[in-house]
């Protein structure tokens, strides 16, 4: 999949989801950002200036993701403040923690996962709406997710996020995307920008899919991977769960959708453009 890569097309540098869901203590801190971000660029994360902290630019960031190892990896990748200009001032693993940390730390940018315990990234955006609308010190959100599903992208953008990039993004491009969101730009991985343009070109609200709403977020992830032709072992490896757990999710999806096998499931997902 094409993602937010720079002119060199360098390979992904942000670690993928690792390990089972893990809760962690929130960590907040204070530290004023120095300088100002570089001028914003185009509407995707291509062709932006190299990362680092030229001119003393700085940005305070909170990381929200329910995988501790992923947060640790992102912190290691972007959190060398002298090099990147990014200061990580807090972390959170679920919706309640996120709202508490963001309210206390008042960062310029929040890196927000879409799928979180407690209601997901959309719920964080809803509860942080007053902070986003603060004219003097707005808190801006950049979604950083493994999901590239249209409904996830559109949901968080409607909720107020300024951009959406997937976890295949490089560390360099993630730093640049953070600064551009701080500046007020909208930043998307190139493929995902089309979802947003299509959604907001229409004044009609997307129809509610009651069948899809019966599935949990994890069941939706398994559904998409099954529909894309992944074997159970491949799905287990990608989602860091056991093959037995994959089988349980598939059985639950088939039962809820009243389908008989994975071939019917694939046709069902394809008809709804979930693949």
Q: Is the Cβ–Cβ distance between 14 and 189 less than 8 Å?
A: no
Each residue's pLDDT tens digit, 151-172: 888 888 888 999 999 988 999 9
pTM, two decimals, is 0.58
Which tokens hold the place of 9? 């097309």
pLDDT at 8 over 80: no
Q: Is the Cβ–Cβ distance between 242 and 236 less than 8 Å?
A: yes
CA distance 254 to 214: 11
Q: Is the Cβ–Cβ distance between 78 and 86 less than 8 Å?
A: yes
Residue 106 Rama label (left phi>0; alpha psi -120 to 50; beta): left
CA distance 84 to 94: 26
CA distance 274 to 146: 15
Each residue's pLDDT tens digit, 43-74: 344 333 334 454 567 999 999 999 999 999 99
CA distance 131 to 272: 35
CA distance 14 to 170: 5
Q: Is the Cβ–Cβ distance between 156 and 164 less than 8 Å?
A: yes
Range scoring the smallest mean pLDDT among 18-22, 104-108, 112-116, 175-179: 18-22
- Identify the helix (H) or strand (E) that includes residue 153: helix 150-159
Q: To the nearest whole number, what is the mean pLDDT of the chain? A: 78
């Amino acid at each position: 999949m094409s993602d937010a890569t720079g002119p060199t097309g360098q390979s992904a540098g942000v670690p993928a989801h690792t390990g089972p869901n893990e809760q962690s203590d929130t960590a907040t801190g204070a530290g004023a950002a120095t300088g100002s971000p570089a001028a914003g660029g185009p509407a995707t994360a291509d062709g932006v200036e190299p990362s680092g902290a030229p001119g003393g630019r700085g940005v305070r960031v909170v990381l929200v993701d329910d995988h501790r190892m992923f947060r640790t990896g992102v912190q290691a990748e972007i959190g060398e403040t002298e090099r990147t200009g990014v200061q990580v001032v807090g972390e959170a693993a679920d919706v309640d923690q996120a709202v508490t940390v963001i309210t206390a730390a008042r960062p310029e940018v929040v890196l927000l996962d879409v799928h979180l315990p407690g209601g997901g990234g959309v719920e964080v955006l809803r509860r942080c709406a007053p902070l986003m609308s603060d004219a003097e010190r707005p808190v801006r959100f950049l979604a950083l997710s493994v999901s590239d599903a249209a409904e996830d992208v559109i949901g968080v953008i409607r909720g107020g996020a300024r951009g959406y990039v997937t976890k295949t993004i490089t560390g360099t491009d993630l730093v640049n995307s953070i600064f551009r969101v701080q500046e007020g730009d909208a930043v998307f991985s190139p493929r995902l920008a089309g979802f947003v343009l299509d959604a907001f070109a229409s004044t009609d609200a997307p129809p509610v899919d009651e069948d899809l709403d019966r599935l949990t977020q994890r069941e939706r992830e398994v559904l998409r991977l099954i529909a894309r032709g992944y074997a159970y072992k491949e799905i287990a490896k990608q989602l860091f769960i056991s093959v037995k757990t994959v089988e349980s999710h598939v059985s639950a999806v088939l039962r809820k959708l009243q389908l008989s096998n994975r071939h019917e499931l694939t046709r069902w997902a394809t008809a709804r453009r979930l693949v």
